[in-house]
Structure 1
C-alpha cells in the first residue's frame, strides 16, 4: 500500500493536529462517513499485513534435493540398485527422503514469524464514523478514521493523537522501552525517533492507563509494525556454519569421487583390461568413497544436542542452530528481560536523615531494608521512611499477585516496584487494607505527579503524593525527619541525592504527604507549598543474578557480548557496567545510540559496531543494520530478543534466540532457539552444548572418511596393478552401512570434553576439514590400504582362497575402524585418558558390530550373499595385529601434535 496522502506516513508527529486533520480530510469530532470509509477501504485495502506470496509446494520439495551431498547419495542409491543390492539402495534412499522431509518442514516453518505479526495487528477498535461510536474489526480501519482507546486496549493502527487523558502506552514490544510511555498532543520535531514520539500511538502496542482519541494516519503495511513485517520478510536466512561447511565439503567430495572413479575407469582401459570389469571397479570405488552414514550422523548428532539443550532450558526450533551456537563469535543481547529481570525493583531509598539499601530482586516480596551499617531497618523506627513507603504503595494503581508459579504485576512496572518494596518492609497490610481512597489527582505527563486522598487506619485524612523529583519538591517547603518532626526543606541536598542516584542509572521518584483539611475534596491548589517531602525511591530493572558470571564465561570463551536495547543510553550504560560489559573507564565509542548509528556512513558501520559494546535507543531497522555489519566482519552472530522490534534482527542473525516467558509470539517464531527461562546464562550453557555437538560431528568425520578414502584407494591400486579387487562392491556397502550405524553414530553420544568453554571460538572461515584433520585422514587411510593389501596378498600367497583373502581384507577395515573409534573420542588426547567406558553406547556399538562380523564371516547364508568365507584363528590374529599397529601410530601422531602445539 502506498501513502494515501502527499506526506511520508511516518511524519505526522511533526504536524499540528489541525494540519493532520486537513491532510487526511477527516472530521476531528465526527470522523469519516461510511461512504468515504468504504471508498478508502477499496482504495487502500484492509488494515492487515500482506500475506506472503510463497513458492509452490513442489518447488519447495525439489529444493530439498538441491545439494551436492544429496546428489552423491542419490548416485549411491542408483549404483547399489544396479548391483541388485536393493536393501542397501532402499536404506540410502530412505536417508535422502528423511532429510528432504525435515528440510521441507523447516522451510515452511519460516513463515510462522510473519503469520504471528499478521495476527498481532488484528483486534477490535472503537471507531467514530458519522458522529457515532461503534466497535469494528481493526481490518476495516482506513486512514482518516477517528478511533478511541482506553486502558486495556490494543492500538489498532498508527494513530496521531488529537486528545488524551492521562494516556500511557506500553511500547516495549515495538521499541524496547522498558516503561510505559506518557502520551500528549504536542508537536514534535520531524527527526524525533519512534521511541520518543509522544503524540503517536502505534499499531500493536498496549494502552496501560488513561484514554485517548486520535486519527488513523497509517494502516496495514504502512504502519511501523508493517515496516517490521517487511524487514522480517526481507531478512536473509543465512546458511549456518555447519551447513555452509557441509556444502563446501559435499562439493569437494562429489568432485573427488567422480574424478577418482573416472580416473580408475580410464586407467583400466589404458591397461587394456575388460571394460565391464573396469566399470564395475569404478563403481566400487564410488560406492566406497561415499559416506552414506554422514547425513544420518549429522541429523542424529544435532537431535541429541537438541535434547541436551532442552534439559538446560533452551528449546531448539531448527536443528542446525544447535551447532551454530557453538560457532558463535558475538552475542548481541537484548537488555530488558535477558540481561535484566524485566521487573522494576526499588534499590535505594533516601530520606532526609538516612540512606537505605534494598535487597531482593523483581516482584517477589522478599528482601530487607538495610542502613549504612548493614543492619536491617524497620519503618516503625523511622517516620520519614514509613511515609515514603506508604506514599509509594498507597498512592498507586498497580497490583502484584502470585499466580501459582511466579509473582506477576498488573499496571505500571514503576508502581509495582513501590508496592513490592512496601511489602518487604512489612507494610503490605497497611497498603492494602488500612487506607481508603476518597479522591485522586491522576498522573499525567504534564502534571508529572499523582496525588490521592485517604482516610488512615486511625481515621485521619491524609494526602499522599508521588512523582518526578522536580515537580514534587516544588510543592514542598518542609521535610520529615526520622522522628516525624518537620524541618525546612534542604533543596540542594534533595537535588544532590537525586543526581547521585540518577548517575547510577536509577529512575528516581519523590514521595510526600500532608494532613488534609478538607476530608472530601482534593485539588491541585491544595498542594502548592503544603506537602512534606518524606523521601526518594530509586529503582531500575535489575540485572539477572547469573548475568555477570555468564558474560564473564562468554568472554573467557572468546565470545564478544554486546548489549542492544531501545532504552535510554544512561540506563543501558549502568546495566552494562553492572554485568561486566563495560569497564569503569570504557573507551570512546563503546556506547552508541540510534542517532549515532543513523549518522554513520554505510562503509563505517561494520568496523564501528565491532568496536562498540552497548547500543541504546536503537530502532528495529538499526538492529538489523548492526547485525549485518557484524556479519560483514566475518562474525557468527547470536541475537537475543523478546519483542516485535527484535524480529527482523532475529531472522537476520546467524542464530536468533527468543525469550520463552516474556517474548512475543512474533519473536519466538522468528528465532531459532527459545529460552524457557529468559536467562542470558542459558545462552552460555547452550553455546557449550553447541560446541560439544560440533566436536562430535568432527569426530565422526575424522572416523568415517579414512575408511571411505581407503576403500576407494584399494580399488584404485588394484586397477593400477592390474590385480583382482581385494574387496567387492557389496562388501564395501556392508562395511559402510553397518559400521556407520553400529560404530560411528555412537560418537553422537560422546560427552563434552573438559575445557570446552576455555578455548576460543572456531574461526568461521576455517573449513570443515582442517589441515590437521586432513593429515589424520590421509595417515589412517594409507595404513588401511597398506594393511588390507598386505593381508590380502599374504593370504593368497599362503594358500587361501580368493573369498577367504577378501574376507580377511574386509575384516581389516572393520576391526581397524573399531579400534580407531576409541581414538576418535578425542582428536587431541589419548583414548586411555578419556576412559574406555564413559560412553556406554560406544561399547554397545562395538559389541553389535563384532556380532555382525561373526555372522558375515561364518554364517553360510551371509557367505553366499557377500561372497565371504570363514577365517581361522591365525587370520584373526593378523587382523588384530594390523589394528593395533594403526592405533599405535595414531597415538604417536597425537602426541607429536600436542608437542607441536605447545
Structure 2
C-alpha cells in the first residue's frame, strides 16, 4: 500500500490521526478556503504515512528515530494549520480545558516530566548495581568454584558480591530519593487558563505546577518564564525566545503567533512553535500546549544524546587512574599466572588466582566512597538552607578558583529605595517623577524592585498623578540589549486639564531605563521650569552622563526618563499595524535609587579570598556604581572594564583583560557568557557563577558550577546546580569547604589504594615466584580485599587537617604517579620484611607449612592495608600530632579484630589457615613501628620536595 493510497484513504474518510498521541480525531469543519485545507490535509497525511511505512528523514546527525519522526510530524502539522484546527487536534477550546478534563488527562498521560528527569525505579538501580564489571568477575569465579566443588570459596565470593551490590544499591537509592525531594522543593508555577462552570463557562487564570500541565492547556507567559511543553502560539507580543537549552547557542529567536509555516522551514526555526525548556527573554503572549512529558521535542534530544556537562579534571583523572591500573594488570596478572602455573601445574587454580589478583588490584570502593562523600556534603549544605541539585557540583565547588557574580540582589540586599527625581540640571522636579511613575504603573511585563520602589515612593509621599485617567495603548517590553522599557499612554479627552504638565498633548511614549541607553535615543532635552524643549547637544549629553556618574559614585543607581509626544496616525506602518520607534525623544531627567550592600557580603568575600577563590563582578549596571558597591564589600577595583570596551578587543587581548579585571560592567548576557568561557578555556579555571535573573541563564548553564537563589527567575533555578534558599554568601564559603573536604577524603582512599594495592601485588608476585605454593588462595585474597575495603568505607566521615581547605588543590595524575613511586616501595619493603621473617624464623617455605604461611601473610597484608590510612591521611605524625575521626578509628579496629579472629574460629579452618603464635604478633608490632617510622621519613622528604602531601 503506497503513500498516495494511504493519503487518499484518510482524506476520503476525513479522519485525522494524531501521530504523536495515537488518537483518532474526527473533524467536520467546513473551511472557506477548501484548496488550502486540502493542501494542508495532503501534506499532513503524507507525513503520517511516511511514519507508518517506517520511512525516516535524514538530518545532520543521520537517520531520525521513530520517536523523533513522530514529534517532527506532529509539530510540523500544527505549525501549518490555523488555530481552529489546532484546537481540534488537541481536543481543547479557546477557553481552555475544564479542571475535570485536565485532571483526567493528567491521570491518563502522567506528570509533565521529560525523559531526562525520570528517576530510575528501584529495580533499575538494583540492576545497575549488580552488573558491575568486577561483580561479574566475582560471580564467574564463584560459579567456577562451585562447579569444582570448592563451596567455601564460591560462597565467600558470592557474599562479597551481595554486600557490594547491597551497599551500592542503598546509597544510590537514597541519593535518588534525595534528588526527588529536591525537585519537589523547586516548584515552577505556570499561569494557565481553565474554564469552570456547568451552565455558563467562564475563564479562570490559575497558577499550577509545570508537572501538572497537560496537552490542551492554554498557558500565559511573560519574560523569564519557561515553556512547560511544546506549544503552538495563540497570541504574541514582541516575543523573543532563547532556545539555548536545545541548540547550545547563545542567540535568541523571534516568535510570531499570527503566521502559518510551511514544511521547508527547519523545525527549530518555526516561528509559531515554542519548545519545552526554552525560555522567554522578552515579550508575552498565550499558547496552546500540544505535547508534554516524553512526547516533547526536548525528550527526543535527551533520549538520544543526553544533556550533561563534560567531565571535569577530577573525573578525567580518575578515569586515567583506571587505565593505569589496567595497564598494571596486563603486566602483573599474566606474570603471576605463569609463575603460579609453573610451580603448581594446576591450570584452573592458576587462572582463578590470577583473576583474584586482578580484583584485589582494583580500588573497588572508590565509587562508593565518592558518592558517600558527596551525599555527606549535600546534607551539610542542606543544613545551611542550600539545595544541591547535582552532587558533582559540590566537588567542583572545592576546585573552584573564580566566582563570578551578578551585582544586583547578590552583593546588595535587593531592597531598592528611591531617593531623588531630578531634571537634567540636577534639580528636583515632579514631572520627572510623574512620567517615571506612569511608566512603572502601566508596565505589564517583568516587574522589578525599581518599579516597586517608584510606586512606594509616590504612594507614601502623597503624590496624586491621576493614573486612572490615563489609558495604556501599547508597550515595548524591556530586554537586556536595549536595557529600557517604553509604554505608550493616552490621557482621556474628557478629563483634559489645560494647566497640567501635559500641555496640549495627551498621547505620549514614556521610556525608562539605563541612563546611557535612554540618553542615546534622545535628541532633545526639556527645561521643565521654563517649559521649553532644546536640542540635546554633545556637551549637554556629556554633562548629563557625568552627573549620573557622580550619583553612581555616591552609591546610587540612576535611571533615565524620556518622553515624546505622538500622534497615533503617524505610527501606522505598511502592514496597517502600529509601529513604535524609540528615537528623537525628549530627555526629562533621572530617578535615583539606593540598594544597600549586604552585611554578610564583605565577610564572605574575605573568607573566599583566604581560600584562594577570586571574585569577579559581571553586571549590566554602570561601572561607577559597580565599583562603589565592590569597594564597600571588599572586592578589588584596580582593574575594571565595560562591555562596550570589550567588544573592540581582539582574541588575545580580550582574554588578558578578562583574566586581570575584577569588575566588568555594562555587560550583555552574551558578553557574560563569553567572559566565563574565556576563563574556562584560556585560563583553565574552574568557574562558578552566581545569578538569579533571566539574563543570567546562558552563563549559569555554561559555568562549571551554576548557583541561583530560590527567589530567582524560573529559568535561572532550572539551569543552576545549586540553589540558595537564603541570599547569604557565607553558604558558598561552606560549599567550598565541603568540596575541598570531599576532595581530600577521596584522595586519601585513592592514594592508600594505589600504594597498598600495587605494593601488595608486587610482593605477592615475588612470593609466588619463590614459593612452591600459592601465597594466598583466591578465597583468602578476596576475603582480605573485601575486609580492608569495608574498613575504608568510613573515610568520608574523616576530618581534614586544619588549614587544608584554605586553598584549591587541583588534581594531577603526575602528582599521583610521583606519590606512588615515593611511598609504594615503603609498603613493598615491609611486605618483604614480613616474608623474610616468616621464611627464616619460622622456616615456613614448604608444603608442610602452607597453612601457617598463608595465615601469617593474610594477617600481615590485611593490617598493612588497613592501618596505612593513618600515615596517608595526614602530613603530620599520626596518633601524636593528628588523630583520625572516631568512625575511622572504630572501623579499622573492628576490621582488624575480625581478620585476626578468623584464625581462631572454624572460619579460618574452612579458609585454609591455622593459629599463629604470639611471637608473630610481637613481630608485627615491631614491623608496624618500623613502617610508620619509615613512612614519616619518606613523608618529610616528599613534602620538602613537592610542598604538598594530599
Q: TM-score, normalised by structure 2?
A: 0.60
8 Å CA contact 1:161, 1:215 repeated in 2: yes
Structure 2 counterpart of 1:749: 797
C-alpha distance in structure 2 between counterparts of 1:573 and 1:125, whole Å: 49
Q: Equivalent of 1:792, from 838, 849, 858?
A: 838
- Cα deviation code 1:149-197 (max 9, x no counterpart): 999999999899889xxxx9999x99xxxxxxxxxxxxxxxxxxxxxxx
8 Å CA contact 2:754, 2:820 repeated in 1: no
236 and 505 in structure 1: CA distance in 2 versus 1, 3 angstrom threshold: farther
1:324 aligns with 2:396: yes
Q: Equivalent of 2:528, from 475, 479, 483?
A: 475
Structure 2 counterpart of 1:846: 892
832 and 329 in structure 1: CA distance in 2 versus 1, 3 angstrom threshold: same
Structure 2 counterpart of 1:864: 909
1:813 aligns with 2:813: no
1:551 aligns with 2:599: no
The alpha carbon displacement at 1:620 in A equals 5.5
SS at match of 2:317: helix
Structure 2 counterpart of 1:414: 450
672 and 282 in structure 1: CA distance in 2 versus 1, 3 angstrom threshold: same
SS at match of 1:811: helix
8 Å CA contact 1:344, 1:539 repeated in 2: yes
C-alpha distance in structure 2 between counterparts of 1:630 and 1:307, whole Å: 30
8 Å CA contact 1:591, 1:613 repeated in 2: no
The alpha carbon displacement at 1:99 in A equals 5.0
8 Å CA contact 1:543, 1:575 repeated in 2: yes
8 Å CA contact 1:122, 1:139 repeated in 2: no
333 and 605 in structure 1: CA distance in 2 versus 1, 3 angstrom threshold: same
Structure 1 counterpart of 2:386: 314
8 Å CA contact 1:95, 1:296 repeated in 2: no
The alpha carbon displacement at 1:901 in A equals 4.8
Q: Equivalent of 2:732, from 671, 680, 683?
A: 683
Q: Equivalent of 2:878, from 831, 851, 854?
A: 831
C-alpha distance in structure 1 between counterparts of 2:280 and 2:776, whole Å: 69
Counting only pairs closer than 5 Å after superposition, residues 606-621 of structure 1 correspond to structure 2 as 609-614=658-663
Count matched residues. Answer: 723
SS at match of 1:315: strand
C-alpha distance in structure 2 between counterparts of 1:581 and 1:220, whole Å: 48
C-alpha distance in structure 2 between counterparts of 1:673 and 1:283, whole Å: 43
Structure 2 counterpart of 1:660: 710
1:705 aligns with 2:754: yes
Q: Equivalent of 1:583, from 619, 637, 644?
A: 637
C-alpha distance in structure 2 between counterparts of 1:730 and 1:260, whole Å: 19
C-alpha distance in structure 2 between counterparts of 1:879 and 1:297, whole Å: 29
Structure 1 counterpart of 2:829: 783
SS at match of 2:892: helix
1:79 aligns with 2:141: yes
The alpha carbon displacement at 1:720 in A equals 2.0
305 and 36 in structure 1: CA distance in 2 versus 1, 3 angstrom threshold: closer
C-alpha distance in structure 2 between counterparts of 1:153 and 1:798, whole Å: 76
Q: Which runs of 5+ in 2 are unaligned?
A: 1-35, 37-79, 97-111, 146-152, 196-201, 206-212, 246-273, 476-484, 492-499, 503-509, 532-540, 562-587
The alpha carbon displacement at 1:893 in A equals 1.4
C-alpha distance in structure 1 between counterparts of 2:297 and 2:142, whole Å: 53
C-alpha distance in structure 2 between counterparts of 1:878 and 1:625, whole Å: 64
**Two-structure CA RMSD over aligned residues (Å):** 6.3
Q: Which runs of 5+ in 1 are unaligned?
A: 1-24, 26-33, 127-132, 175-200, 356-383, 399-409, 452-461, 479-490, 512-532
The alpha carbon displacement at 1:813 in A equals 2.3
Counting only pairs closer than 5 Å after superposition, residues 890-901 of structure 1 correspond to structure 2 as 890-901=935-946
The alpha carbon displacement at 1:769 in A equals 5.7
331 and 569 in structure 1: CA distance in 2 versus 1, 3 angstrom threshold: same
Structure 2 counterpart of 1:672: 721
- Cα deviation code 1:723-781 (max 9, x no counterpart): 32333322222222222223x22321122322234434415xx2286244213541333
Structure 1 counterpart of 2:506: none
C-alpha distance in structure 1 between counterparts of 2:290 and 2:644, whole Å: 29
- Cα deviation code 1:203-229 (max 9, x no counterpart): 96699xxxx9989999999xxx99999
C-alpha distance in structure 1 between counterparts of 2:437 and 2:595, whole Å: 21
- Cα deviation code 1:343-382 (max 9, x no counterpart): 3245x66999xx9xxxxxxxxxxxxxxxxxxxxxxxxxxx
Structure 2 counterpart of 1:291: 363
8 Å CA contact 1:696, 1:748 repeated in 2: yes
The alpha carbon displacement at 1:134 in A equals 8.4
8 Å CA contact 2:422, 2:428 repeated in 1: yes
The alpha carbon displacement at 1:67 in A equals 12
C-alpha distance in structure 1 between counterparts of 2:286 and 2:124, whole Å: 48
C-alpha distance in structure 1 between counterparts of 2:611 and 2:775, whole Å: 48
1:878 aligns with 2:932: no
Q: Equivalent of 2:643, from 592, 601, 608?
A: 592
1:694 aligns with 2:738: no
The alpha carbon displacement at 1:643 in A equals 4.0
442 and 332 in structure 1: CA distance in 2 versus 1, 3 angstrom threshold: farther
C-alpha distance in structure 1 between counterparts of 2:117 and 2:866, whole Å: 46
The alpha carbon displacement at 1:722 in A equals 4.2
SS at match of 1:737: helix
8 Å CA contact 1:79, 1:287 repeated in 2: no
Structure 2 counterpart of 1:92: 161
C-alpha distance in structure 2 between counterparts of 1:650 and 1:883, whole Å: 51
8 Å CA contact 1:333, 1:641 repeated in 2: yes
8 Å CA contact 1:159, 1:214 repeated in 2: yes
Structure 2 counterpart of 1:240: 312
648 and 296 in structure 1: CA distance in 2 versus 1, 3 angstrom threshold: same
- Cα deviation code 1:16-53 (max 9, x no counterpart): xxxxxxxxx9xxxxxxxx994335789999999x9968
SS at match of 2:377: helix
Counting only pairs closer than 5 Å after superposition, residues 532-551 of structure 1 correspond to structure 2 as 538-551=592-605
Structure 2 counterpart of 1:488: none
The alpha carbon displacement at 1:798 in A equals 7.5
1:259 aligns with 2:331: yes
SS at match of 2:643: strand
C-alpha distance in structure 1 between counterparts of 2:325 and 2:224, whole Å: 60
C-alpha distance in structure 2 between counterparts of 1:537 and 1:228, whole Å: 47
Moved more, 133-142 or 672-681: 133-142
- Cα deviation code 1:637-690 (max 9, x no counterpart): 3233334554454344333323234352x4334333222223333223211110
Structure 1 counterpart of 2:576: none
Structure 1 counterpart of 2:816: 770
SS at match of 2:813: coil
The alpha carbon displacement at 1:244 in A equals 2.0
C-alpha distance in structure 2 between counterparts of 1:442 and 1:708, whole Å: 79
- Cα deviation code 1:393-413 (max 9, x no counterpart): 999999xxxxxxxxxxx9652
Structure 2 counterpart of 1:191: none
8 Å CA contact 2:700, 2:716 repeated in 1: yes
8 Å CA contact 1:334, 1:564 repeated in 2: yes
C-alpha distance in structure 2 between counterparts of 1:152 and 1:301, whole Å: 35
- Cα deviation code 1:40-97 (max 9, x no counterpart): 789999999x996879999999999999994345324433554433344343355357
Q: Equivalent of 1:720, from 769, 787, 809?
A: 769
8 Å CA contact 2:755, 2:820 repeated in 1: no
8 Å CA contact 1:121, 1:204 repeated in 2: no
8 Å CA contact 1:751, 1:839 repeated in 2: yes
8 Å CA contact 1:656, 1:672 repeated in 2: yes
8 Å CA contact 2:90, 2:215 repeated in 1: no
The alpha carbon displacement at 1:698 in A equals 0.6
C-alpha distance in structure 1 between counterparts of 2:400 and 2:943, whole Å: 26
8 Å CA contact 2:241, 2:281 repeated in 1: yes
SS at match of 1:92: helix
SS at match of 1:657: strand
The alpha carbon displacement at 1:841 in A equals 1.3
The alpha carbon displacement at 1:887 in A equals 0.6
The alpha carbon displacement at 1:712 in A equals 1.7
151 and 258 in structure 1: CA distance in 2 versus 1, 3 angstrom threshold: closer
